[in-house]
Amino acid sequence: MIREQRNREKLRTYYQKFMAQGILDPNVHPWVGEAWQKSRSLGVPAKNFGPFVRLTEAERGERLAAAHAVIRQLDAFYDSIREFLSRNNISILLLDDESYVLKSYTMSFYQRTPGELEGARLAERDIGASSVGIAAAHRTPFVLFGPEIWIEDCHDSDAATAPIIVDDKIRYLVTMVVMDGTEKQRLSMDGLMALLLSVKHLLEQTLTLEEQLTGRESLLDKVPMAIYQVDPAGEVLYANRLGNERLIRGMKRSHSMEHRLNLNETVLNYGHTQIPRAFLGVPSFNRELVWIIGGKTYEDIASVWPDQTDEFVASATVISTPIEDMKTLLAYASQYKARYSLSSLVGEAPRFSAMKDKAARCARHLDHLLILGEPGTGKQRLAHGIHQASPHAAGPLITVRCGDTPADLLPSELFGRVATAGDSNVPGKIELARGGTLFIDEIDKMPVALGDELAAALKREKEVRVIAAADVDPKRLVAKELFSEDLYYLIAQAVIRTPSLRHRQTDIPLIAEDILKELSLQHPGERKQLSPMAVNLLMNHDWPGNVKQLQGVLEQGFFHAHGAVIQPTDLVLPGGSGWGKAWKRDRSAFVDAWKACGGNISRLASNLEVSRVTLYRYLEKYGLERNRK
């Protein structure tokens, strides 16, 4: 409510009359008189402020986070007229709907510093009649002249408050106080109200737009697709829930969430995907997109298109659907096939060849099967190959990953979920795999009770063949009562063991060549190959992470190498030096490492993480001439 300027002496007389005799002068504004009477009935001290009721720091932090959009706009508004506010001795307060001060701007507030006031409650029961209480009670902007304010210490200042109302609900209150001083007279009450109403309109529009965007974002968060908006520098301007989860997995722990994510930093192969081409105006639709994030490879079907204004591409929109999700979705309609055949498994070492022969024999029947092997030995590929060679090859291949699925969600993953209010039935993986193969990865991590339940279900279900994989032999866990005995004897009708890479090191050149070929197909461009010294480096490493670890090293080398040939310096092997410890016992490994460093002893010492003195000792041991470059 806009009020005309009042005579301060008369207002002071009305206040004193009420305080002394309890009589309301007819000239007192009805809302002010009502607030005075309530202040007296509540027993609010009139001389000065008493102790404030305050929010804890944690409570205030939560409310500040919820008000981030409003605070961002008010910060910008304050920055734009900071000098004007200071010159006119104007303070601004942002309060929430319970009259707690969230933020204080500019001057001290009635001899209280901004820090003292933030988190304090300024409701009518705390400070008596004020523009805050009256504006909140009557849901309209209101000016209160100094002598009308209940606290006498405030009588030399004027205050105006506007409620910020969205969807017929007060969300916040904004108060402006013109403090003591001769400069105050430069600003009329009309000017103060015009300023306050501008802020009210700005914040109400901000909240309305924010809620509309939040509603749309909530819808996008529910879709089973990763959605991104990316700028030309690779900075992520927007990501929905699935997109954020995927990128955050690949962040370094030191990354601050205050800064936007950048695909150049989180996606190893970003420059080789189709996203950067969008900034040249080239869209792509429903193409395979491979992301390498945090050492993990994601395979999606994605569409990417430029967001173009005139001739300038300001950003690119990416909609990406995980292939694993599409498998389940399309299992009935398309009878999803295995991606790998037994013939595509690369290797000639005796143990590996024997494993492939046994897999081919097991593929001919439909007995359940257990694949045992260390992590990274290719158990999933082998399961695909067995399914592809089996009588169930025309049926779906459905995967359950016990290691990636929380224990409380595994039952619904396997057996499905019955419809609830507002929801529909969700089929389980066993049902989806009917007529095909159910591949259960890391089955050794399955809880005992669930294993018993699964064993009972599989005895009833005759149309599903289970291929299970485990890093730890479940038989040992059965002995410790950590794995279902019924399930073990059901899945272990046949057992295949995948050999570790250290037991088939002669296969490393073939495997590496196959991995690089696959990377070249995924990222069209110049074919890359390993130099002989790089091959020797790989063959002299122990590879505790097996083929999967080798693939990760080659992926890094593929994207870091500048030419068509990947050199040892392009490869970063796990466990420190890329040359492992082979150089200590193998002269040729030492020579290869030395050559890769250009014969520079200092560089070689740094790469092998030893002193120059140690290297000179090995130079003498292998009968090599010292080179002190």
Condensed to tens digits (0 to 9), the pLDDT of residues 264-292 reads 888 888 888 999 999 998 898 888 888 88
Tell whether 94 and 194 lie within a shared domain.
yes
Domain with 137 in it: what CATH number?
A: 3.30.450.40
Domain total in the chain: 4
190 forms beta bridges with none
**pLDDT confidence band for 160 (50 / 70 / 90):** very high
Would residue 285 count as lying in a domain?
yes
Which residue, 13, 3, 183, 163, is CA-closest to 83?
A: 183
- Residues ≥6 apart with Cβ < 8 Å to 265: 234, 255
Tell whether 203 and 341 lie within a shared domain.
no
Tell whether 195 and 248 lie within a shared domain.
no
Tell whether 110 and 237 lie within a shared domain.
no
pTM here is: 0.50
- The answer on pLDDT for 447 being more than 80 is yes
Tokens of 54: 């305050």
Would residue 221 count as lying in a domain?
no
Q: Give pLDDT, residue 287.
A: 86
Domain with 390 in it: what CATH number?
A: 3.40.50.300
Sign of CA dihedral 509, 512, 518, 521: negative
Tell whether 443 and 305 lie within a shared domain.
no
Tokens of 475: 């038989």
- The answer on pLDDT for 184 being more than 80 is no
Tell whether 462 and 576 lie within a shared domain.
no
Of the residues 499, 519, 535, the one at which a domain ends? 499
Tell whether 339 and 400 lie within a shared domain.
yes
* Average confidence (pLDDT) over 347-363: 95
Would residue 175 count as lying in a domain?
yes
Q: Give pLDDT, residue 113.
A: 57
Structural domain boundaries enclosing 275 = 226-252+260-324
Of 194 and 509, the one with more pLDDT: 509
Q: CA-CA distances (angstroms) from residue 192 to 89, 188, 481?
A: 12, 6, 76
Looking at residue 462, its amino acid is K
Would residue 115 count as lying in a domain?
yes
Tell me the DSSP string of 235-278: BEEEE-HHHHHHHHHTS-TT--TTS--BHHHHBTTGGGSSHHHH
- Residues ≥6 apart with Cβ < 8 Å to 527: 516, 517, 520, 564
Tell whether 58 and 201 lie within a shared domain.
yes
120 near 100, Cβ under 8 Å? Answer: yes
582-622: pLDDT as tens digits: 677 778 778 777 766 656 676 677 567 677 767 877 888 88
Q: Give CA 115 to chain center in angstroms.
A: 33
Domain with 554 in it: what CATH number?
A: 1.10.8.60
Q: Give pLDDT, residue 242.
A: 85
Tell whether 393 and 536 lie within a shared domain.
no
Cα radius of gyration rounded to whole Å, the chain: 36
Would residue 573 count as lying in a domain?
yes
Tell whether 197 and 64 lie within a shared domain.
yes
257-271: pLDDT as tens digits: 445 788 988 888 888
88-100: pLDDT as tens digits: 888 899 999 999 9
Would residue 504 count as lying in a domain?
no
Tell whether 358 and 246 lie within a shared domain.
no
**H/E segment holding residue 412:** helix 410-415
Domain with 280 in it: what CATH number?
A: 3.30.450.20
Would residue 528 count as lying in a domain?
yes
Of 231 and 221, the one with more pLDDT: 231
Of the residues 478, 499, 520, the one at which a domain ends? 499
308-352: pLDDT as tens digits: 877 788 899 999 988 777 765 665 444 456 778 999 999 999 999
Scored b (16 or more CB within 10 A) or e, 316-353 reads: bbbbbbbeeebbbeebeeeebbbbbbbeebbbebeebe
Tell whether 234 and 162 lie within a shared domain.
no
Q: Give pLDDT, residue 164.
A: 95
* Average confidence (pLDDT) over 426-435: 87
341 near 253, Cβ under 8 Å? Answer: no
Task: Please tell me the distance from the alpha carbon of residue 272 to that of residue 524, in angstroms, as a whole number.
Answer: 8
134 near 161, Cβ under 8 Å? Answer: yes
451-489: pLDDT as tens digits: 999 999 999 998 999 999 999 999 999 999 999 999 999
Rounded percentage of the chain residues whose pLDDT exceeds 70: 87
Of the residues 286, 301, 324, the one at which a domain ends? 324
**H/E segment holding residue 39:** helix 30-42
**pLDDT confidence band for 503 (50 / 70 / 90):** very high
250 near 344, Cβ under 8 Å? Answer: no
Would residue 629 count as lying in a domain?
no
CA dihedral 81, 83, 86, 92 (to 10 degrees): 20
Angle at 398 between CA 546 and CA 484, to 5 degrees: 75
